[in-house]
A and B are shown apart, each in its own frame.
Chain A
Amino acid sequence: MTDLTNELRAQIADAVATATPLNIVAGNSKAHLGRQATGQTLNVSAHTGVISYSPTELVLRVRSGTRISDINQLLAEHNQRLPFEPPCYAQRATIGGTLAANQSGLATPWFGGVRDSVLGLGLINGKAEHMHFGGQVMKNVAGFDVSRTQVGAMGTLGLITDVSLKVLPQFRAEKTLMMPMPLPQALTYMSRFFCQTLPVTAVVYWQGQVIVRLQGEPATLQAAAQQLGGSEMPMHEAHKLWQQVREQTLLQPQADEILWRTNVAANDSHTMVGDDCLLNWAGAQRWQCLKQTAAKPAGAVQYAGGDRQQEVNGELDKTSQRLQQNLKAAFDDQAIFNPGRLYSWM
């Protein structure tokens, strides 16, 4: 519960004055993501604590070094949850890193990803100016949406000091169903979870089965389970599976492997459809571990493992690259923050 905003700002001002690149670190749970970090460590891990939490407003505002596991615990005490269900990475993940690395979890297609819960944030830019964008209310269109732009930027646009999030009520019941089927059929089958009103909060395809998590009112779950059929997975097994998918431990690259990830149209029947693939988000997010020597799956991001000095997020078209370079300069013209972490040219 410490506010280190002033200290962090002073460190950034020093770095700006001496043109020293910074590597933003809090829980250090995501060192394996993005391109290899360079620069002097800017440690945010002690900048923690809840600034405000009003369960009836559904709004939580926390300092960026606050751990996801602590947030989950606080919300659970008030029967609420983070809608985007991010990984905790062995209690090390923080909200700042979760936002910067866009760690959107299981329920993303139905309750939105990180960006959909972000209402506002504090940011220290490359001039060491501390600013606030968005707010603590559900709707806000004053000024550009600088807050959501940070989602996925890997800290390249500045240091996030605090985040305001929309939270939601906890579910009252849960049930997990399994339906064995071959993949081509599963791709068609899973699209019903976008088109029908079902109380679904997670759908994966793994080892020959569509696995569906239902959450909501007990009576609703009962009706949905009857409608869907399949067999129910015992609760302890289901919890273990969902934890593995959420914590990204189901597929872990060996030393000579790369974990690839791609985001596609959920019913895409050409991209990453091997037996060894994990399909999350009803098919819209796909994961596969391959030997480093194997060909890169088309359009995939080199999520973890392999050479982290090359581009890992793929190529951008010229216009997108130019605009992102301009945006980088707009926030951080001396390239102090996380240089090269997102792209080699940024």
Chain B
Amino acid sequence: MTSMQTAMPRQQLAQAMTNIVAPAQVLCDDENQRPFECDGLAVYKQMPWVTVLPDTVAQVQAVMAYCHQHAVPVVVRGAATGLCAGAMPNASGVLLVMTKFNKIVDIDAQLAQATVQPGVRNLALSEAAAPYGLYYAPDPSSQIACTIGGNVAENSGGVHCLKYGLTVNNLLSVTMVTIEGELVTFGGPGFDTPGMDLVALTAGSEGLLGAVVEARVRLLPRAEKVQVLMAGFDSVTAAGDAVADLIGGGVIPAGLEMMDKLAIEAAEDFVKVGYPKDAAALLICELDGTQAEVAAQLSEVEACFKAAGATSMRIAKDAHEAAKLWLGRKSAFPAVGRISPDYYCMDGTIPRSQVGHVLTRIQALSEQYGLPVANVFHAGDGNLHPLILFDASKPGELEKAEACGGDILTLCVDVGGTITGEHGVGLEKMPQMPYQFSDQELAQFRAVKQAFDGQEILNPGKAIPTLKYCQEYRSIQHD
């Protein structure tokens, strides 16, 4: 609806905002707003109409109430590390930047819980919890910069999800401001509240239901022992089988990552940590727990990987070496960035048993589009991150990369998976939503959206496509 509507004059909106926050907290010229025009997916850009940086909950309430009253779109933004253009601004709306809400309100070391403002960085929380022997488990690759508010919005994961869960599994309560400007809290300090689970509904809602202003999360005790090992395989299928055998055999690793040949080579050339460049696939496995537990599991993992045909194996002898083995994996994206002018990072999830098949199909797509694809993924939970290499300066390459990415996502759905594991739909994956969901399911999502935001002014045009959009999409697919 908003795109059809005439925007409120920029100066009028900016003036209204300065009645709520200090003038320095309102930006409305292009020069100052330029840094806010995109999130981590920079191919989607939009200059905000007016940017507001509140620093009190009362200000957030007042901004929301004003926008509700005047039907002005609102996009809530954290650190904007998201990779699906979920935080891309709206051309006629307010961009509500939450980075000033950067305080850890409380760390309750006895209960192992923390209460944080949404702008607290993910890693900063683990650092603050460290003196108590605690940490915050969800650890997306962007954890140095991404914020808890954004993590809630996208239900972020990381490399330790299989064992320790996603954001939703570590979230006890959420306080948010509704589009009407009301303050509401779901959940509490216990592990349960009566009635429908609105904490879970809020997690992963991509800023469509409200503005999170506080979250209470669980912290976990640091494991007594952490052990990392790496194994090379001569095919991705063999590595995939090793993963299935390990988990089916009763071992749940803290992290289990896979990289394919192109990713291994790029990472090794970049950080030189001793990855086997001759391997077709690499598994990095992290075990944690008590000394006795880790020792027992380690011998099981070794036996399992050997039986699955590992061509090389290396067990980190100390924390330093473990960090080195992780470094290659964690540097995979920038490493790929070195070998290609641009890359497009995809995010889909598949049943683990489909890994071999899906990687073979991705290879075929790579050849079809003439674009190399490096694969890095969370093998433990089947979350793929194919990196499509392209050169945006060559006409048509970006479009080709996007088309290739779209085909990879629909492939994920075809094998029983999903178009997004942890990055969200945002603007990027709107075309694939009608592929994964029926019109009835999408209509149900819209009804949920309208239950919270009847005017649909919170992050409009993202995450949930309209029926009209779907009909257009389907007619294109049938052409």
Contacts and interface: CB of A to CB of B under 8 A. Distances in A.
B386 interface: no
Contacts of A263: 188, 190-193
B383 interface: yes
Interface stretch (A16-24, A193-201, A205-213, A232-240): A193-201
Given A136-B351, A138-B161, A265-B190, A144 B425 contact: no
Given A153-B195, A195-B134, A137 B381 contact: yes
B456 to A, nearest CB: 13
Given A138-B382, A140-B418, A152-B197, A112 B192 contact: no
Contacts of B329: none
A194 B161 CA distance: 19
B204 interface: yes
A266 B444 contact: no
Interface in B409-434: 416-425, 429, 433
B438 interface: yes
Contact of A264 (B189, B197, B383, B441): B189
B128 to A, nearest CB: 15
Contact of A56 (B109, B289, B352, B450): B352
Nearest to A134: B418
A194 B184 CA distance: 27
A145 B292 contact: no
A249 B391 CA distance: 66
B447 interface: yes
A139 B161 contact: yes
Identify the interface centre among A127, A154, A220: most chain B CB within 10 Å of its CB: A220
Contacts of B51: none
Contacts, number: 267
Given A140-B420, A142-B418, A263-B191, A170 B161 contact: no
Given A135-B416, A142-B420, A223 B169 contact: no
B188 to A, nearest CB: 7
A260 to B, nearest CB: 12
B248 interface: yes
A319 to B, nearest CB: 4
Interface stretch (B9-17, B218-226, B309-317): B218-226
B146 interface: no
B451 A138 contact: no
Contact of A197 (B132, B224, B433): B224
A316 B196 CA distance: 12
B306 to A, nearest CB: 18
Contacts of A148: 168, 197, 200-201
A108 B192 CA distance: 9
B186 to A, nearest CB: 7
Interface in A44-61: 54-59
A301 B67 CA distance: 37
A76 interface: no
A109 B165 CA distance: 13
A131 B445 CA distance: 11
B244 interface: yes
A51 to B, nearest CB: 12
A281 B197 contact: no
Contacts of A170: 250
A213 B252 CA distance: 20
A285 B192 contact: yes
A263 B250 CA distance: 32
A102 B110 CA distance: 27
A223 B292 contact: yes
Contact of B351 (A54, A264, A323, A326): A54
A78 B279 CA distance: 33
A294 to B, nearest CB: 20
A133 B424 contact: no
B190 A264 contact: yes
Interface residues of A, number: 84
Interface in B324-379: 349-353, 378
A216 B293 contact: yes
B296 interface: yes
Contact of A140 (B108, B134, B421): B421
Contact of B417 (A55, A137, A195, A331): A137
A307 to B, nearest CB: 17
A127 B133 CA distance: 51
A25 interface: no
B178 interface: yes
A146 B444 contact: yes
A266 B222 CA distance: 20
Nearest to A262: B190
Interface residues of B, number: 97
A219 interface: yes
Given A188-B110, A263-B188, A313-B194, A323 B452 contact: yes
A145 B194 contact: no
Identify the interface centre among A132, A145, A222: most chain B CB within 10 Å of its CB: A145
A280 B114 CA distance: 22
B207 interface: no
B301 to A, nearest CB: 14
Contacts of B204: 141, 144-145
B424 A141 contact: yes
B420 A141 contact: yes
B191 A285 contact: yes
Identify the interface centre among A56, A262, A313, A320: most chain B CB within 10 Å of its CB: A56
B448 A109 contact: no
B112 A195 contact: yes
A152 B194 contact: yes
A143 B197 contact: no
Contacts of B184: 317, 319-320, 323
A316 B290 CA distance: 43
Contacts of B419: 142
B192 A102 contact: yes
B18 interface: no
B436 interface: yes
Contacts of A323: 178, 184, 198, 451-452
16 contacts: A56-B245, A57-B353, A108-B191, A116-B168, A138-B421, A139-B166, A142-B433, A146-B444, A195-B221, A223-B292, A263-B188, A263-B191, A264-B189, A281-B190, A324-B195, A324-B196
Given A109-B191, A319-B184, 15 more contacts: A136-B416, A138-B162, A138-B349, A143-B437, A143-B445, A148-B168, A149-B197, A151-B200, A152-B195, A197-B224, A199-B293, A263-B192, A326-B451, A327-B451, A330-B450
By Cβ-Cβ distance, the 10 closest A-B pairs, closest first, are A263-B190, A148-B200, A56-B248, A326-B451, A138-B381, A139-B421, A169-B250, A330-B447, A219-B292, A265-B189
